[in-house]
Amino acid sequence: MGAWRRNPAQWYEQTMVYCELCGRVIPKNFWVVEEDSRELIFCDPDCEQLYRDYWVQTRRQA
């Protein structure tokens, strides 16, 4: 289960956070999901869902 998190970086620190799925830069609030002891970061739960659909499909085709 994921959770919303706020980017703690100040604007002058320029810590870029990118969505795992679409690669967009997320300026403030991002959606974090823990998986296999690492964190996946998404724009929102929709991107997480698409990511999972994508990987499930890829595994099926392989």
Contacting range for Zn ion; rule: CB under 5 A; set: 5-13, 27-35, 43-51, 53-61: 43-51
From residue 3 to residue 42, the character string flagging contacts with Zn ion as x (rule: CB under 5 A) and all else as - is ----------------x-xx--------------------
The whole-angstrom separation of Cα 30 and Cα 3 is 8
Pairing of strands 29-35, 3-6: antiparallel
Task: Determine the size of the site formed for Zn ion (CB under 5 A).
Answer: 5
Altogether, the residues listed in the chain come to a count of 62
Three-class SS state of 57: helix
Applying CB under 5 A, the residues found at the interface with Zn ion are 19, 21-22, 43, 47
